Chains A and B, each alone.
Chain A
Amino acid sequence: MTERTQGAFARPGVSPTNDLADLADGFARAWESRPDERHERWFTFADHPIRIRVAGAGLAGDVFRAFSHLEREPDGSAPALTVDLWDEGETGVGVEGVAPSGDLNDHGETYASDDGFVVVTARPQTRTALHRVERRLIGWVADHGRLTQYELGRPLHSELMLWHKDRGVQAIHAGLVARDGQGVLFGGPGGSGKSTTALTCLKAGFEYMADDYVALEARPDGAYDGHSLFCSTHLEPDHLQKFPYLRPHAIPGRLPREDKSLVLLSDVLPNGLSRKARIRAVALPRVVDAERPSVRPATTIEALLRLAPSSLILLPYAGVAAGEFEKLSTFLENIPKYWLELGRSMDEIPDRIGEILERHT
């Protein structure tokens, strides 16, 4: 399989490099002119130090909350990525030609420079430019109060996936929980039970990394680590009813089409969140007609059929490189795999996950 070229991203009449320069100028002006709105924190993404600076207190609060479990103290290390964001509404600083656009859908448009180094993503309320070589991400937000639930729960999602991919870390559609740093990864399409499993395990005392997106890293010794990206979960109304401990923290959608509730788990069980785990097994949740959950072995092809489509087809950037499919296949060929058949009772799900871990740690 060949990877598509940057040409597929080309958009006549636009210059990603100029957009990057304009956004950099805008951020510099916002940062300089509004010292009262400056906020800076450091985070750990896939073991790398990341610095995020935000001009605008409201925007800073929204962005930092989704990554709060990944926060770290600066230790003098150079950042592997610098993220600079500002809110035009809060700072009063705009950029000529950059304005909210009702023509874009929530996922926006992405275009890249001819060399592929600069990638611009335009969404209705935001515009970002990532320089993949300089490892700098700059973003404008029109009004943080109009960000979608998706943007609040998973800020800079596609941009961070590309950054991870450039570091050899594959963002996949999966959940991950652990005990003592030893993890079970949950794979499957939406509605298969990843969130149910992960959130039930979180409540039972497991370390929680994710219920939807995990950054998968192959270690030189052949082991695999799973890194957390966001501390958010998005739940359908009936799904939320299954988790009374989350209901007080549910944030309803702001837009009519947002029927899910967003829960930032750092608000609920901050001590239950973790940055990463060594992956010891894969479980493939699926709902069956049974009372109690059970576990049985799965084949590599079954696991690939559950994990690969939603990981590779739907995730931005990750889907078209042959290497990504090959990496996921290699991972699944080299790790124990199980079907996790979810019955009507959720109570014993953590027991089944614990049993899998006991077999493989």
Chain B
Amino acid sequence: MKPETRLGPNTADVAAKVIDGEAIIMNLANGLYFSMDEVGSAVWEMVEAGFSLGEMSDRLQARYDADRETIAGDVNRIARQLLDEGLVVETEADAPLHDGPGGDGGRGTYAAPTLNRYDDMADLLALDPPMPGLGALPE
């Protein structure tokens, strides 16, 4: 993917949350769910903020003690995985929505982001498909 590619959460099917530097991402359409630790959760926060892949790499390079090539390769790989799992979609935006995650001021130890995949709900979901949500009632 190109550095200027921007991704956003697949809001139709996905719910996600970042807590204490870890992300949990649920694909409610197929029952698969995922977690990502520190660097991965930062990537997810930047996805939510509408960063391009290049901007993600810039931000991670400023925060971690790793070379640009390694980081850019990892960002590209994890972005591809997120796309393949249907967790994100490519967007047409030409700028981030906001500043994204802040750093703690220091340069942390870099660990390649990993998308941990859990499929224990998927088989059950196949037997018992979810019903689409209904809108809220008027006040």
Name A's B-contacting residues (CB within 8 A).
1-6, 8-9, 107, 110, 112, 116-117, 119, 132-133, 158, 162, 166, 189-190, 299-301, 304-305, 308-310, 312-317, 319-322, 325-326, 329, 333
A313→B28 contact, CB < 8 A = yes
Do the beta carbons of B17 and A320 come within 8 Å of each other?
no
| Shortest distance from the beta carbon of A99 to any chain B beta carbon, whole Å | 23
With A9-B132, A116-B135, A320-B132 already in contact, 10 other A-B pairs whose C-beta atoms are closer than 8 Å: A2-B12, A119-B134, A133-B137, A133-B138, A162-B134, A189-B121, A304-B17, A305-B24, A309-B121, A325-B15
Interface size class of B (residues with CB under 8 A): 20 to 34
User: In the complex, A216 Cα to B9 Cα: how many Å?
Assistant: 28
**Shortest CB distance A234–B (Å):** 14
> Can you give 29 contacting A-B residue pairs, CB < 8 Å?
A1-B11, A1-B15, A3-B133, A3-B135, A3-B136, A4-B12, A5-B135, A6-B134, A9-B134, A110-B131, A116-B137, A132-B137, A166-B137, A190-B124, A299-B20, A300-B19, A301-B19, A304-B17, A305-B24, A305-B33, A308-B24, A308-B26, A309-B33, A314-B31, A314-B125, A317-B131, A319-B28, A320-B132, A329-B19
Q: Is the CB of A312 within 8 A of B26?
A: yes
A6 vs B136: C-alpha distance in the bound complex, in angstroms? 10
Q: With a CB–CB cut-off of 8 A, which chain B residues contact A116? A: 134-135, 137
Contact with A along B24-42 (1 / 0, CB 8 A): 1010100101010000000
Contacts of A304 in B (CB 8 A): 17, 19, 24
CB neighbours (8 Å) of B99 from chain A are none
B69 interface residue, CB < 8 Å from A?
A: no
Once the chains are docked, how many angstroms separate the CA of A179 from the CA of B105?
47
| Chain B contacts to A: CB under 8 angstroms | 9, 11-12, 14-17, 19-20, 22, 24, 26, 28, 31, 33, 35, 118, 120-121, 124-125, 128, 130-138
Cα of A317 to Cα of B136 in the assembled complex, Å: 11
- 4 closest pairs, A vs B, by CB? A320-B133, A8-B132, A325-B15, A301-B22
Identify which of B9, B12, B33, B134 contacts A317 (C-beta below 8 A).
Answer: B134
Shortest distance between the CB of B131 and any CB in chain A (Å): 5
Contact check: which of B12, B130, B134 meets A314 at CB < 8 Å?
Answer: B130
A316 vs chain B, min Cβ distance (A): 5
A315 vs B9: C-alpha distance when bound (angstroms): 23
Asked if A322 and B15 sit within 8 Å, CB to CB, the answer is yes
How many angstroms between the C-alpha atoms of A343 and B9 in the bound complex?
Answer: 40
A112–B134 touching, CB < 8 Å = yes
Q: How far is the CB of B40 from chain A (nearest CB, A)?
A: 12
Q: For A190, what are the chain B residues with a Cβ–Cβ distance below 8 Å?
A: 124
Contacts of A5 in B (CB 8 A): 135
Known interface pairs A309-B33, A312-B26. Does A300 touch B133 (Cβ–Cβ under 8 Å)? Answer: no
Which residues on A sit within 8 Å (CB–CB) of B17?
304, 325-326, 329
Interface pair B135/A312, CB less than 8 Å apart: no
Question: Closest residue of chain B to A322, judged by CB?
Answer: B15
Task: Find out whether the CB atom of B28 lies under 8 angstroms from the CB atom of A320.
Answer: yes
Bound: A189/B123 CA distance, A:
13
Set of chain A residues within 8 Å of B31, measured between Cβ atoms: 309, 313-314
Instruction: Give the residues in chain A near B118, CB-CB below 8 Å.
Output: 305, 309
- State the CA gap A304–B136 with chains docked (Å): 24
Cβ of B26: which chain A residues have Cβ within 8 Å of it? 308-309, 312-313, 325
Contacts of B138 in A (CB 8 A): 133
